[in-house]
């Protein structure tokens, strides 16, 4: 079952204290309504009863999807010993384990893993889109506000590169990405049991380190 707790919180706008409910654990299959709130981000949204201001509270959260066999840990903290032991057990059971540092990463990761797509491949595709976008003079790197996974349909992945209120879509064959990864498979290996954080910073660091070793 999913679990939550009530904590005291001080409104960042009016400074008054009140109670909020934060979730520590969400079981997607057992609580589909909470699954939907995780994807929308609503599970992190709160409203001050005093000044009526809405805001986000990012509390550590473990998200479990048993049918799709993945666990996502939303946290900015490193893996502790207790979680490491759990991770070893889940890894043996072939669960995909991931850590996300932001709500945006968390919601996107759920959609990627629900789609059954390798999130390493997605980050590589997003990186390739960034390179194509900037190298072909479609925009400057500093203009990019986000690079987002949209979906995979009929073997084609859709990635959106956003610049402010504008966006450009890239359609990338999954087979092409699979071939790109197979060319240097060792480079993209991850330690699943460590709850790796596979995101934009990870892929940039990966290529930075690889270039340094060359």
Would 194 be classed as within a structural domain? Answer: no
In the sheet that holds 96-100, the strands lie side by side as 3-10, 17-27, 61-65, 70-74, 96-100
The domain boundary, picked from 50, 85, 114, lies at 114
Would 102 be classed as within a structural domain? Answer: yes
The domain boundary, picked from 114, 132, 161, lies at 114
Q: What six digits make up the tokens of 78?
A: 């490193």
What total number of domains does the chain contain? 2
Same domain flag for 151 and 181 = yes
Range of the structural domain that residue 41 is part of = 3-114
The domain boundary, picked from 72, 97, 114, lies at 114
Would 200 be classed as within a structural domain? Answer: no
What CATH number is given to the structural domain containing 180? 2.30.29
> How confident is the model at residue 106, as a pLDDT?
98
Same domain flag for 101 and 127 = no
Backbone phi, then psi, for 166, in 5-degree steps?
Answer: -115, 165
Same domain flag for 99 and 128 = no
Same domain flag for 85 and 22 = yes
Would 125 be classed as within a structural domain? Answer: yes
Nearest-angstrom CA–CA distance, 105 and 108: 5
Same domain flag for 107 and 124 = no
> How confident is the model at residue 79, as a pLDDT?
85
Would 55 be classed as within a structural domain? Answer: yes
> How confident is the model at residue 130, as a pLDDT?
93
Would 73 be classed as within a structural domain? Answer: yes
Give the other-Cβ count within 10 Å of 13's Cβ: 13
Same domain flag for 99 and 12 = yes
Same domain flag for 64 and 10 = yes
C-beta of residue 142 within 8 angstroms of C-beta of residue 164: no
Q: Over the chain (214 residues), what is each successive 10-residue block's mean pLDDT?
A: 95 97 97 97 97 96 97 92 90 97 97 97 96 84 92 96 88 96 94 95 89 58
DSSP string, 91-146: HHTT-EEEEESSHHHHHHHHHHHHTT--HHHHHHHHHHHHHHHHHTTS--GGG--E
Would 52 be classed as within a structural domain? Answer: yes
């Amino acid at each position: 079952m999913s679990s939550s707790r009530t904590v005291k919180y001080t409104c960042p706008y009016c400074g008054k204290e009140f109670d909020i409910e934060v979730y520590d654990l969400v079981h997607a299959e057992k609580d589909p309504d909470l699954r939907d709130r995780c994807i929308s981000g609503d599970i992190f949204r709160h409203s001050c009863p005093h000044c009526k201001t809405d805001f986000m509270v990012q509390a550590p959260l473990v998200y479990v999807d048993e049918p799709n066999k993945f666990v996502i840990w939303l946290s900015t903290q490193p893996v502790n010993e207790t979680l490491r032991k759990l991770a070893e057990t889940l890894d043996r059971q072939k669960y995909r384990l991931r850590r996300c540092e932001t709500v945006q990463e968390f919601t996107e990761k759920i959609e990627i893993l629900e789609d059954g797509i390798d999130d390493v491949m997605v980050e590589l595709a997003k990186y390739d889109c960034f390179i194509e976008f900037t190298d072909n003079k479609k925009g400057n790197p500093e203009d990019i506000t986000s690079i987002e996974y949209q979906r995979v349909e009929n073997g084609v992945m859709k990635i959106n590169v956003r610049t402010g209120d504008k966006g450009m879509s890239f359609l990338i064959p999954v087979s092409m990405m699979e071939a790109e990864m197979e060319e240097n498979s060792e480079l993209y290996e991850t330690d699943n049991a460590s709850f790796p954080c596979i995101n934009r910073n990870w892929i940039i660091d990966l290529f930075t380190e690889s270039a340094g070793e060359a």
